[in-house]
Amino acid sequence: MEIILKQDIENLGYENDKIKVKSGYARNYLIPKGLAILATETNKKVLAEVQKQKSFKEEKLRGEAETTAKLLNKIELKIGAKAGTSGKIFGSVNAIQIAEALKVKGHEIDRRKIDVDGDSIKEVGNYKATVKLFKDIIVEVLFEVVAE
């Protein structure tokens, strides 16, 4: 069954993508949840018009994401956390702390776009996080967790 996605769905596609999925998946999950619509002729025409209008905005966003990616490649973050003598952190470091550290450096990045290996970090050391700025623009940010 051919459908048009109304929003980004991980491992499936992006908003306004026209894709083929199994009919049960579309009928029982995607369409009732409002995540997709049927790709009828009328909806395809509406989609073409929407894509024309969004192409200019998308190029602008892509340019901003590329500029941010260049700046993020140069950044080194230090995140302070309370730690014991063995190097174990009391609590954990996750995407929220990384987003706050980036904000201090002047880059406002949504915490949901930051992916930390293993979801959270529980020891002092050097790590990397993946930041998804745009559909295909992904940057690795290196950061160091230090004891306070």
Q: What is the CA radius of gyration of the chain?
A: 20
Q: Is the pLDDT of residue 119 over 80?
A: no
Return the pLDDT at 27: 95
CB 44 within 8 A of CB 51: no
Q: Do 72 and 115 belong together in one domain? A: yes
Q: Do 116 and 135 belong together in one domain? A: yes
Q: How far apart are the first and last CA of the chain?
A: 56
Q: Do 48 and 94 belong together in one domain? A: no
Q: Do 45 and 89 belong together in one domain? A: no
Q: Do 85 and 56 belong together in one domain? A: no
Residue 76's pLDDT band (cuts 50, 70, 90):
confident
Q: Do 53 and 88 belong together in one domain? A: no
CA distance 90 to 84: 7
Domain count of the chain? 2
**39: its two tokens:** 């790709």
User: For position 103, which CATH number holds?
Assistant: 3.10.430.100
> Whole-prediction pTM value?
0.65
For residues 60-77, average pLDDT: 88
CA distance 7 to 15: 4
- Helix boundaries (H) for 10-135: 23-25, 41-74, 95-104
Place of tokens 């174990």: 88
CB 91 within 8 A of CB 124: no
Q: Do 48 and 14 belong together in one domain? A: yes
**Percent of the chain at pLDDT exceeding 90:** 42
Domain extent at residue 73: 68-147
**108: its two tokens:** 């406002």
Q: Do 42 and 23 belong together in one domain? A: yes
User: For position 56, which CATH number holds?
Assistant: 3.40.5.10
CB 113 within 8 A of CB 133: yes
Return the pLDDT at 75: 87
Q: Do 82 and 143 belong together in one domain? A: yes
CA distance 13 to 39: 15
- Please identify, among 38, 61, 84, the residue that sits at the C-terminal boundary of a domain: 61
Q: Do 91 and 142 belong together in one domain? A: yes
